[in-house]
Amino acid sequence: MEKLSRGRSSAKKQKEIEILGLENGIKPPQAVDIEEAVLGALMLEPDAVADVLDLLTADCFYKESNRKIFSAISSLARNHAPVDIYTVANELQKEGDLEAIGGASYLSELSLKIGAAAHLDYHTKILLQKFIQRELISISIGMQKEALDDTISVDDLLDNSQQKIFNLADKNMRRETQPVQDVINEAVDDLQKAQLRSDGLSGIPSGYTGIDSCTLGWQASDLIIIAARPSMGKTAFVLTMARNMAVDYKIPVAFFSLEMSSKQLVKRLMISETGLGAEKIKGGSKMSQDDWNTLNERLAGLAASPLYIDSTPSLSIYEFRSKARRLVATQGVKLIIIDYLQLMVGPPELRGMREQEVSAISRSLKAIAKELDVPIIALSQLSRAVETRGGAKRPQLSDLRESGAIEQDADIVMFIHRPEYYGTLEDPSQAGLAEIIIAKHRNGAVCDVQMKFRNSEVRFVDITDTSLDNIGDYMQFTESRANSQPDFGAEIEEQWQ
């Protein structure tokens, strides 16, 4: 567990908890005898001080005199001074607290109450548990006060409450240092599992052959940013990908849409799944009986797929975290998609400071991906610099909008570029071709992947798809790729040796 920091003043929170306990006839959570045993052990076992200081603060002690003693021990340890009964008494004397804690006689009493030194770790955990219980009581008292204050909006109230709970939970997570041998064993286990896979991937398949060949699948705990200018097909790209994973591979996927409603997303899926066309699915033209039969037949797989859609508008990062945790725990979700990052709401204290807010959202998404051990794919807008750039108008990392932290936090940054949109397509026979530019790949090769965008079906398909309108496009692509990048395949293979 990481070191727990101070919130409001200990004395004020302690008083509130005691009053609440008296009103309900219940003693606040405490273990004074354990506190005394821990302090006695620290003064007699100096080698244990460093370990305990990584876990406890003075606030973790319920009794005020014990808090003062632990503060003195902490001060000595930070100054690399020896810790024993005499040095602690001297430190308390300098702070004017020696008499307040009961004098040197109390310190001597503590030394007699020490248990087995081997139990110190267990005793420390008990103190942490009691402290967390008291913190939860304090948070609930604060929530009650804020809930009675009509000047605080309900949205801010929910955000503040969730943030306090999440912060407490984060601080209660113990992250152990591991010997390299243990980590190697885990990595070898992952490698053995990957060798047993027939698709040659080590992560979650996207359903796009070209992208999977470059990324080897989406890797657990990665943050993937997919960025493009408006109307490039960002939503169509990830929605088709979500469909591929959920329908073809039966992989549970969560899709958080902050821009479109659930019904709009599903209608897009219905268009691409059935091939009936937008005018029919949206009700612009009549459906024949054959159309209805096609609709029912082709939607069966989609309806039974583990795809979960959340269209909460202005979703806060705290609410997203709560929902993502629940989906991973209850539905076994293996991948999360967010459409799109700039529509999320960051911490309340950063509102009005857009760059810092987006940076906080980006950092939080990476932390959540690591915590839940699932890939998170977040769409992002690009700045207008792409439009003013000459030539092919290919996007680059500096075009990421509103915060450089997005580029820094992401494990993979991908751009969607369609030359046809800008009128820079030299060969008319290549209409619909799109470039997926992997501009940053923390654990692999960067590359460009050619795909095809079918505007009538609102979806992207592999350029190797035999149902493409012009199969010659693929032949032309492979020939040009072989001529321009003869070592492309070898480069990817070398990255993963």
Q: pLDDT (tens digit, 9 = 90+) per residue, 151-167?
A: 888 877 877 787 787 77
> For residue 247, what are its two tokens?
């329908």
> Do 341 and 324 meet the contact criterion of CB atoms below 8 Å apart?
no
> For residue 370, what are its two tokens?
């690591």
Please, what are the domains in the chain? 10-170 (1.10.860.10), 199-495 (3.40.50.300)
Beta-carbon contacts of residue 460 (< 8 Å; ≥ 6 apart): 208, 233, 236, 237, 240, 434, 451, 452, 453, 454
Q: pLDDT (tens digit, 9 = 90+) per residue, 92-124?
A: 998 888 888 888 888 888 877 765 555 787 888
For residue 306, the one-letter residue type is P
> For residue 19, what are its two tokens?
């009053």
Task: Render the burial of 306-341: b for 16+ CB within 10 Å, e for the rest.
Answer: bbbbbbeeebbbbbbbebbbebbeeeebbbbbbbbb
Mean pLDDT, residues 169-180:
64
At 21, the pLDDT band (50, 70, 90 cuts) reads low
Q: With 50 as the cut, is the pLDDT of residue 329 above it?
A: yes
At 469, the pLDDT band (50, 70, 90 cuts) reads very low
Q: With 60 as the cut, is the pLDDT of residue 475 above it?
A: no
User: Which pLDDT does position 175 carry in this prediction?
Assistant: 52
Q: Mapped to the 3 state alphabet, what secondary structure does the chain carry? A: CCCCCCCCCHHHHHHHHHHHHHHHCCCCCCCHHHHHHHHHHHHHCHHHHHHHHCCCCHHHCCCHHHHHHHHHHHHHHHCCCCCCHHHHHHHHHHHCCCCCCCHHHHHHHHHHCCCCHHHHHHHHHHHHHHHHHHHHHHHHHHHHHHHCCCCCCHHHHHHHHHHHHHHHHHHCCCCCCCCHHHHHHHHHHHHHHHHCCCCCCCCECCCCHHHHHHHCCECCCCEEEEEECCCCCHHHHHHHHHHHHHHHCCCCEEEEECCCCHHHHHHHHHHHHHCCCHHHHCCCCCCCHHHHHHHHHHHHHHHCCCEEEECCCCCEHHHHHHHHHHHHHHHCCCEEEEECHHHCECCHHHCCCHHHHHHHHHHHHHHHHHHHCCCEEEEEEECCHHHHCCCCCCCCHHHECCCCHHHHHCCEEEEEECHHHHCCCCCHHHCCEEEEEEEEECCCCCEEEEEEEEHHHCEEEECCCCCCCCCHHHHHHHHHHHHHCCCHHHHHHHHCC
Residue among 64, 146, 259, 491 flagged as catalytic: 259
Q: With 50 as the cut, is the pLDDT of residue 495 above it?
A: no
User: Which pLDDT does position 7 carry in this prediction?
Assistant: 40
> Looking at 137-146, 377-386, 458-467, 478-487, which range is the least confident one?
478-487
Mean pLDDT, residues 290-310:
84
User: Which pLDDT does position 316 carry in this prediction?
Assistant: 83
> Do 57 and 35 meet the contact criterion of CB atoms below 8 Å apart?
no
Question: Phi and psi for 432 in degrees, rounded to 5?
Answer: 95, -10
Residue with the two structure tokens 């459409």: 339
Tell me how many degrees the CA angle 278-284-289 measures, rounded to the nearest 5: 85
User: Which pLDDT does position 376 carry in this prediction?
Assistant: 95
> Do 327 and 333 meet the contact criterion of CB atoms below 8 Å apart?
yes
Q: pLDDT (tens digit, 9 = 90+) per residue, 232-275?
A: 888 888 988 998 899 888 999 999 988 888 888 888 888 877 76
User: Which pLDDT does position 338 carry in this prediction?
Assistant: 93
> Looking at 388-392, 441-445, 476-480, which range is the least confident one?
476-480
> Do 234 and 314 meet the contact criterion of CB atoms below 8 Å apart?
no
Q: What percentage of the chain has pLDDT greater than the value 70?
A: 80
> Do 386 and 399 meet the contact criterion of CB atoms below 8 Å apart?
yes
Q: pLDDT (tens digit, 9 = 90+) per residue, 426-458?
A: 666 667 788 888 988 988 888 888 888 887 677
> Do 386 and 380 meet the contact criterion of CB atoms below 8 Å apart?
no
Q: pLDDT (tens digit, 9 = 90+) per residue, 303-315?
A: 888 999 998 888 8
18 is a catalytic site residue: no
